[in-house]
Amino acid sequence: MTERVAATPGIYPLPDWAKGTLSDLKGHQKGDLLSGDEGGEIAETYDEVRAEFVDDQLEAGLDRVVEGEGRWDDMIAHPLTVHESVETGGIVRYYDNNNFYRDPRVVDDLGFSGDVAAELEAAADLIAGTDAGDAPLAATLPGPYSLATLATDEHYGDEGAFQAAIADFLAGELEAFPAHETLFLLEPSLVTNPPADGTEERATDAIATVAGATDADVVVQTYWGALDEKLYAHLVDEADADALGLDLVAGDRDDTVYNVQEYGATDSVSLGLVDGQNTLIEEPETVAERVEWFEGQVPAADFETTYLTPNTELFYLPENKYRAKLNALAAATEVLE
């Protein structure tokens, strides 16, 4: 019987109170964004944000709890923009939306950072101190392909070597993580800027390098539409992922279903079911219907786990809408019981 798990990849919107506080503490310019060595009142503010994110998820009843990534000023580029071997360049549009990040310019070897591991340790401590102390923790990292495409290489000198170095860096970070049940590897670039023909295996090798660094279930979360057929097949066969994340909101979901029907699937699947960029709140029954619709389209598949997730990160939303989306996902699993 398929287990249905309500979860998110994190990167939540800052609460309104924290936006004002952090703006006063950090300033308003590009150079004032987080560098990774913050302390004092700034660190204390992020601690409060993290605690609020954990409470939001526990109150909603999600089956996996993420740290929330309130410190990630640069969205999924964050692990590089705070790295000591990286200089930040100009402001770059974050995919096809009105958000921007600092261009991470890698200028030296990518050694161990520990920045994300410290965030997760703090989240694990928060969870342990609640009545839901055994709630499973989920970790979030950018996928190596997407992180490499978002960054600028000024050190490794070769696209393949750079992608492999990013993968090794992420794997090293992952080995320092506290115990976690699930890892979400966010790979939006696989849809928006896919590997050139003939280089798909290089991308899947990089993902497999990261996936191999954890004993947790690994979800390679793709979004903003359907994957190219050939790339989809490579991901299923070579990425060493327990679940491939499929966006059922953006793009033509029939193309996504066709890929599964034609090329098979991972043992588990993660479905993007609520719109991470639209304030319209989906009813739990609607979310449940989308799950049943998908599973009904691929009757030969018998998934170990179906993850119910938003189709993107949730930082695009107002905080009240983001909480409503958490509630809808958690309630949908109850509808499906």
Residue 262 phi/psi, 5-degree rounding, is -85, -35
Mean pLDDT of 194-198: 96
pLDDT score for 300: 67
**Contact assessment for residue 166 and residue 110, using Cβ atoms and an 8 Å cutoff:** yes
Is the pLDDT at 36 greater than 90? The verdict is no
Q: How far apart are CA 120 and CA 275, in angstroms?
A: 26
Q: Which residue has the higher pLDDT, 301 or 306?
A: 306
CA-wise closest residue to 312 among 123, 155, 140: 140
CA 74-15-133 angle, to 5 degrees, is 95
- Categorize the per-residue pLDDT at 125 as very low, low, confident or very high, splitting at 50, 70 and 90: very high
Mean pLDDT of 71-91: 96
pLDDT score for 32: 74
The residue assigned the tokens 């605690």 is 51
Q: Of 65-79, 205-219, 290-304, 316-330, which range is least confident?
A: 290-304
Mean pLDDT of 247-263: 95
Could you tell me the sign of the dihedral formed by the alpha carbons of 329, 225, 217, 294, in that order? positive
Q: Which three-class secondary structure state does DSSP give residue 44?
A: helix
At 40-78, the pLDDT tens digits run 999 999 999 999 999 999 999 999 999 999 999 999 999
